Structure 1
Amino acid sequence: MELFLTLLSGIGWIIVYEECIRLGLKEKTYAMPFWALALNITWEITYTYSDIFLGAHGEMGGMLLAQTIVNIFWVIFDCVILYTYFKYGRKEWAKQVNSCFFVPYSLLVLVCSMALQFVFIQEFGFVMAAQYSAFLQNLLMSVLFIGLFLKRNSMEGTSLILAFAKWIGTLAPTILMGIITFNPVVLICGLFCCVFDLIYITLLIHYRKEKKEN
């Protein structure tokens, strides 16, 4: 069951990333909110490196190997999503702020995100830091996806496939780490992720229905 849920989460998020890349390149935009992307990619780089070179989760055996392989794919996909952000994100930069600050600000967000990964590890150790930071930033991501959709008021950079895959990709590890191994922090964050993901799905369905009617 643990291996199945780990792989289900990995496949769900790979679909999310594939959709972000496809939509980003097709529609010349970025499909993942940037703070969510920055936290995601720094998390994946941090824990892929720690699993491969530091053996920080060595006691987890086969499940670790599956998660590490998934993490490697996630890093590769997120690098492409990051490319779409830097290529197309400037057009959504606030008009009242000079666009020359776009790159420095973006780099600052990435540095901040990496620093947060390090302090979580320092405070909680590799195993718990990986869980706490992943679910907290996943909760933030669920809210940010809604915010980006409302800001654009269109289906630009999103799809129902992406929304459903994100929901399933988060629900699986919530069951695994929040219920089966019972971590209350993970459980609460995961439950609210589920709520906001379902709100996001509902908003997309309602928007598409309205467009068809009009």
Structure 2
Amino acid sequence: MDFYTILGLTGGLAWTLAYIEAIRLGFAQKTFAIPFWALALNFSWELVQSAYSIRHNSFSLQSYINIIWLLFDVLILVTYFLYGKKGFKNYANPAYFIPYSLIVLLISMLIEYAFIKEFGGTDGAVYSAFLQNVFMSVLFILMLIERRSNSGQSLFLAISKGIGTAASTVLFGALGHADLANLVFILGSICFFLDVVYINMLVKAKTSEVSIKTGN
């Protein structure tokens, strides 16, 4: 097994663990554990990439990982549609919850499709994945601020996401195709920084919560 395969498996496994934790948190705490715009983009990316692999009969290790992630994202979407409306009503009429959600999913699909049409299957997948990863890292920070608690969030999920993205950054940014390396490395580094910030914020939020419960 070469270093490229090890990095690919590390990234795939770490993100898989993050998805599993998101599903567990969602059903256990009756919430959704991935910010919806990030979830919609992830779901769309995996759906478009899986469809691309099937259409062109070009399967790799990443192709099979994408299909597994797609199935997990379906379950995370279930938690969103089951429990997301209670938070949505703080900002808009609950009657708009389903139309809004479907529009976001449609926009996400169009974005992922545009990346493939513009840059091709491989480059488009890498560009969009790292851009939306930065977006996701920002949204996790905003979700922690908005919820004012660690509800639907865990260090295990945050660290797994960080490791998954870091492994992919080394794979595609340091060792990958020269045409992709600079942008991927910069985006991956930004993502890693934001993930560290989020993990630090989450630790402080958990510490504060424990202090409040114990009266310290």
The interval holding the TM-score normalised by the smaller chain is over 0.9
The one-letter amino acid paired with 2:195 is D
1:96 and 1:199 mapped to 2: Cα distance?
Answer: 27
Q: Paired residue for 1:201? A: 199
Q: Paired residue for 1:116? A: 111
Tell me if 1:79 matches 2:77: no
1:96 and 1:82 mapped to 2: Cα distance?
Answer: 20
Q: Paired residue for 2:185? A: 187
Tell me if 1:152 matches 2:140: no
2:74 and 2:94 mapped to 1: Cα distance?
Answer: 22
Q: How does 1:134-173 map to 2 (within 5 A)?
A: 134-173=129-168
TM-score (norm 2): 0.93
Point out 4+ residue stretches in structure 1 off by more than 6 angstroms.
none
1:93 and 1:180 mapped to 2: Cα distance?
Answer: 42
2:87 and 2:210 mapped to 1: Cα distance?
Answer: 27
1:126 and 1:70 mapped to 2: Cα distance?
Answer: 16
1:213 and 1:111 mapped to 2: Cα distance?
Answer: 43
Q: Paired residue for 2:124? A: 129
Deviation of the 1:33 alpha carbon: 0.2
1:37 and 1:91 mapped to 2: Cα distance?
Answer: 18
Residue range with higher mean Cα deviation, 64-73 or 99-108: 64-73
Give structure 1 stretches of 5+ with no counterpart.
59-63
The one-letter amino acid paired with 1:162 is L
Deviation of the 1:125 alpha carbon: 1.0
CA deviations 1:2-32 (Å, max 9, x no partner) are 1111111111111111111100000000000
Cα 1:23/1:54, change in 2 over 3 Å: same
Q: Paired residue for 1:211? A: 209
CA deviations 1:62-120 (Å, max 9, x no partner) are xx521111111100100000000001000001435211110001000000000011111
2:67 and 2:91 mapped to 1: Cα distance?
Answer: 38
Q: Paired residue for 1:105? A: 100
2:208 and 2:79 mapped to 1: Cα distance?
Answer: 29
Q: CA RMSD in A?
A: 1.1
The one-letter amino acid paired with 2:42 is N
Tell me if 1:45 matches 2:52: no
Partner of residue 69 from structure 1, selected from 64, 70, 78: 64
The one-letter amino acid paired with 1:180 is L
Q: Paired residue for 1:7? A: 9
CA deviations 1:129-156 (Å, max 9, x no partner) are 0000000000000000010011001111
Q: Paired residue for 1:61? A: none
Deviation of the 1:210 alpha carbon: 2.2
2:195 and 2:91 mapped to 1: Cα distance?
Answer: 32
The one-letter amino acid paired with 1:186 is V
The one-letter amino acid paired with 1:138 is N
